[in-house]
Amino acid sequence: MNLRQLSEVLGLSQTTVSRALNGYPEVSEKTRVRVREAAERHNYRPSLRATSLATGRTMMIGHVIPLSAREEMVNIIFTDFLAGAGEIYAQNGYAMRLSVVSDADEVEIYEDMKANGVVDGVLLHAPSENDQRIPLLDSLKLPFLVHGRATGTETPYSWLDVNNRRAIQRATEHLLELGHRRIALLNGLESYDFAIRRRSGYLGALEAAWIAADTSLMRSNEMTEPFGYKAGGEMLDQPNPPTAFIASSFVMALGVRRAIEERGLIMGRDVSVVCFDDDISYLPNGSDKPIFTALKSSVRAAGRRCAELLIAKINDEMPEEQHEQWEAELVIGPSTGPAPSES
Amino acid sequence: MNLRQLSEVLGLSQTTVSRALNGYPEVSEKTRVRVREAAERHNYRPSLRATSLATGRTMMIGHVIPLSAREEMVNIIFTDFLAGAGEIYAQNGYAMRLSVVSDADEVEIYEDMKANGVVDGVLLHAPSENDQRIPLLDSLKLPFLVHGRATGTETPYSWLDVNNRRAIQRATEHLLELGHRRIALLNGLESYDFAIRRRSGYLGALEAAWIAADTSLMRSNEMTEPFGYKAGGEMLDQPNPPTAFIASSFVMALGVRRAIEERGLIMGRDVSVVCFDDDISYLPNGSDKPIFTALKSSVRAAGRRCAELLIAKINDEMPEEQHEQWEAELVIGPSTGPAPSES
DNA sequence: TTTAACAGCCAAATCGCTTTGGATAATTTT
DNA sequence: AAAATTATCCAAAGCGATTTGGCTGTTAAA
């Protein structure tokens, strides 16, 4: 049943039926009720295809996953972030459009989305330093919101981000206060802006404590369990091993723990570990008591908020670019303790 | 630039331009080249909105996430499965449409999708026993493919599934061969069909070995790390604890391991653990050597294959319903060993 | 040489909705 | 009672593609 058929059944014009259903005032309350009832009775649902051609809106929000970033992004971020965003989208009548795309096509896909008119807005993930997608989206006049930030970008844009620098700085300070001097950083890929900021927080705290950074204690890679295990193990096997680790993700910290335990050491006594915890629903940092000392910030909540901001932007309810910076919460767990005295 | 403008520029009719670009034969090779070049030059891209209204196809495939299942589904399945499916979609010009929906609306959403015409097909996740969505989708004549199976459903439908029964049966047999007699099962939610099949495999193996099932050794819940930890710990604290565990997911097995180690026991010596391993990219069961003895089957590969099958179905290249059952591979790791002798 | 077949192109209808610009009747204002 | 509003409703023009049914010349068959 389409609009024409419904209007014929009712003996009304398509205009009136359309207006009645969409709540326009040029329709008497009596007919509106009559139309609503008929629509209900005949199970009429407007074709979104036609509506979007007529209105230019698709009620879809685009998320692009570049193939190269699959390992890191799809999993860590897309998992809970999308669940959060999806909730808000649903509440507002939107749906998500995910497209996996090879890196070479990454610029073109945004032009396509604009020209094709398949989405009303775009959520940008995991920006790098000086991310080219931002000026591109801006020039395309496609509403977008960035989850994270891109240092060095001159185009103004709206974003929501965790204060990554401050978070890791606090993690480092916490370890310094416990007397640690050899603190390792297992970071995410430093092509991403968040990882750059985290390193900067780490280096800042060390510098403030007059400790020279040791490059043998700094590694950066995809945030997987095996990388945490491997890099952590190698550092522990060094002649002058670290007494503490900062891991950029919970999953990496699991790997570090495995390396520690495999060497007969005890986490929290012999070696301390702090991690950044995105508060992943099915991999929580302990349900009752935490496993790791961590800087915690819910990526699902971020997804929700990003969705809200983007929808506001699409609806032109955002007069100027908005920025939201969240502070991560320091949760003390059993994985950190005083630095072992030198022996 | 739209079709009309392009055709005006070329001095051709819209019909001819459309046909030239879409490879129809009623166009001379000379004009086709001319049209292609002009399209390229003017950066013409057909509006998907208009195309889909005209053709009735949207080049989108729907995935529905019911809110209640968020914890379990979004994460475990959606993570790698979507990455795999997304790859194939991209290769074929499709994109994914994710909608998060509250349970009450779950039936209606499919009717909506059909009536609205927003997707060309649907991928059904995590079917339960006698899943009502299957007859519904069938009656709606919306092409769909089920990842998993739904026991008790009479409607014929196409599916791809792992042989869950056989997998867990083999896991159980492996432990029995090692001499274990008290084997615990930590299963996923048994409202899902896969969990029912796994339990059935477990019970079947026990029965074949003339061992009575002990309900104090069977638990079922969301497949999270904390649940594995909690249930595993409680069982170990029982007067007559199990000597081996079967965990329905890798993440749960991590929880079990934590419970084991916390009690000063050694996994693989004092207590054995086998798990089902979906081969999650960022949480692999060890990169070089496995952590757990496991039944392994890549959920990402399943995503890829499901996408292929569904696309074939949409394109009417599937004469009758197809079924594909995959066998999980038994990987022996250090987490299993002979049952400790009674003392 | 006539006729049939075909290659190449086009005008116009179609998909199903929204929205503009009236038209008509009822109501209010003068 | 006439004029000006206002409340309701409608016809038709869009959105931008695809596709049906024809209309011309050319070429091949009779």
Q: What's the pLDDT score for residue A70?
A: 52
Residue A290 predicted with pLDDT over 70: yes
> What does the mean pLDDT of chain A come to?
93
Q: What's the pLDDT score for residue A342?
A: 67
Q: Does the nearest atom of strand C lie within 7 Å of A293's Cβ?
A: no
- Is residue B119 within 8 Å of B59, Cβ to Cβ? no
For chain B, which domains are there? 3-42 (no CATH), 60-162+300-326 (3.40.50.2300), 164-298 (3.40.50.2300)
- Report d(CA A38, CA B46) in Å as an integer: 36
Instruction: List CB contacts of A165: < 8 A, sequence separation 6 or more.
Output: A197, A198, A200, A201, A204
Region label for B31, one of left (φ > 0), alpha (ψ between -120 and 50) or beta (otherwise): alpha
Instruction: Give strand ranges (E) for A57-115.
Output: 60-66, 95-101
Q: What's the pLDDT score for residue B70?
A: 53
pLDDT digits (tens, 9 = 90+) for A229-259: 999 999 999 999 999 999 999 989 999 999 9
Mutate to test the interface with B, among A21, A48, A68 (most CBs of B within 10 A): A48
Find the length of chain A.
343
Helix, strand or coil, per DSSP, at residue A189: coil
Q: How far is the CA of B95 from the C1' of C5 (A)?
A: 44
Residue nearest to nucleotide C20 (CA to C1'): A15
How sure is the predictor about B138, in pLDDT bands with cuts at 50, 70 and 90? very high
Select from B221, B209, B211 the least CA-distant residue to B185. B221
- Is residue B70 within 8 Å of B122, Cβ to Cβ? no
To the nearest whole angstrom, how far is the Cα of A26 from the nearest Cα of chain B?
26
Q: Give the containing element (helix H, strand E) for A107.
A: helix A106-116
pLDDT digits (tens, 9 = 90+) for B10-26: 999 999 999 999 999 98
For A88, which residue in chain B has the nearest alpha carbon? Answer: B100
pLDDT digits (tens, 9 = 90+) for A144-201: 999 999 999 999 999 999 999 999 999 999 999 999 999 999 999 999 999 999 999 9
Contact assignment for B284 to A230 by CB distance below 8 Å: no
Q: Does the nearest atom of strand D lie within 7 Å of A10's Cβ?
A: no
Interface A–B counts its CB contacts (< 8 A) at 172
Q: Does the nearest atom of strand C lie within 7 Å of A343's Cβ?
A: no
Q: What's the pLDDT score for residue B75?
A: 61
- Is residue A242 within 8 Å of A271, Cβ to Cβ? yes
- Is residue B220 within 8 Å of B203, Cβ to Cβ? no
Q: Does the nearest atom of strand C lie within 7 Å of B28's Cβ?
A: yes
Residue B178 predicted with pLDDT over 80: yes
- Is residue B70 within 8 Å of A281, Cβ to Cβ? yes
Contact assignment for B80 to A74 by CB distance below 8 Å: yes
pLDDT digits (tens, 9 = 90+) for B276-330: 998 887 778 877 789 999 999 999 999 999 999 999 999 999 989 999 999 999 9
Nucleotides of C under 7 A from a protein CB: 7-22
Question: What is the CB neighbour count within 10 angstroms for residue A266?
Answer: 10
> What does the mean pLDDT of chain B come to?
93
Q: Give the containing element (helix H, strand E) for B60.
A: strand B60-66
To the nearest whole angstrom, how far is the Cα of B223 from the nearest Cα of chain A?
8
Q: What number is the average pLDDT over the span B87-111?
A: 90
Residue A343 predicted with pLDDT over 60: no
Q: What's the pLDDT score for residue A226?
A: 87
Q: What percent of chain A has pLDDT over 70?
A: 96
